[in-house]
Amino acid sequence: MIDATAQQIIATADPNAIIYDTLEFDHPLFNLRIVAGYEPLIADAKTYQPYAFDVKPSTVADGENNEFEAVISNVRRSIPTLIIQALESGQPVKLYHRQIITNNAGTVLSIVAPELPYHVTDCSESSDSVNISAAFVNILDATFLNERYDLARFPGL
């Protein structure tokens, strides 16, 4: 999701700046950070591993991005296993899509970070790629104190 502030930061960046797309998957079982590039990237005390990937936010009628799709190269064969295990655990897998702006020397100039994380909703793999779908969490469907409130357990709702 690139909001107006993020668009302004990217538009006013140094013409020689390099803008990297990054994805960070956050879950109690694992934390995976990847960058679209050929070399590892260190930014904000975090190391991003190089992977080939493409991202595609989907735009709804009001112009806001509420869903997100990523296609990641599946050469290493480790990503689908991690994400599928995490999805089966029942705890959400948070996905952060950031743009990191560096100069030619590799010094980080700015990090365009999202306001809210996406939550991974689906993961599938083919012989050469991993397809990941994510969306913003519906706050009305969230758990409170690790309890999912339903009519059978809480008839007064």
Q: Give pLDDT tens digits for 3-17.
A: 566 667 777 777 778
Tokens, residue 149: 């409130």
For residue range 14-38, what is the model confidence (pLDDT) as tens digits?
777 888 889 999 988 888 899 998 8
Q: How far apart are CA 96 and CA 113, in angstroms?
A: 8
| Alpha-carbon dihedral sign for residues 79, 84, 87, 90 | negative
Model pLDDT, residue 58: 63
For residue range 123-132, what is the model confidence (pLDDT) as tens digits?
888 878 888 8
Domains and CATH numbers, the chain: 4-141 (2.30.110)
Q: Does the structure show a pLDDT above 90 at 115?
A: no
Q: Does the structure show a pLDDT above 70 at 119?
A: yes
For residue range 39-92, what is the model confidence (pLDDT) as tens digits?
999 988 899 999 889 888 666 555 555 788 888 887 666 677 778 788 788 788
Model pLDDT, residue 22: 92
Mean pLDDT to the nearest integer, 140-157: 62
Strand duo 46-51 + 30-36: pairing? parallel
Q: What is the percent of the chain where pLDDT is above 70?
A: 73
Q: How many Å is the Cα radius of gyration of the chain?
A: 17
One-letter amino acid of 15? P
Q: How far apart are CA 89 and CA 98, in angstroms?
A: 26
Side-chain-side CA neighbours of 35 within 13 Å: the count stands at 20
Overall pTM > 0.85: no
Q: How far apart are CA 130 and CA 79, in angstroms?
A: 8
5 SS3 class:
helix
Q: How far apart are CA 8 and CA 10, in angstroms?
A: 5
Model pLDDT, residue 48: 92
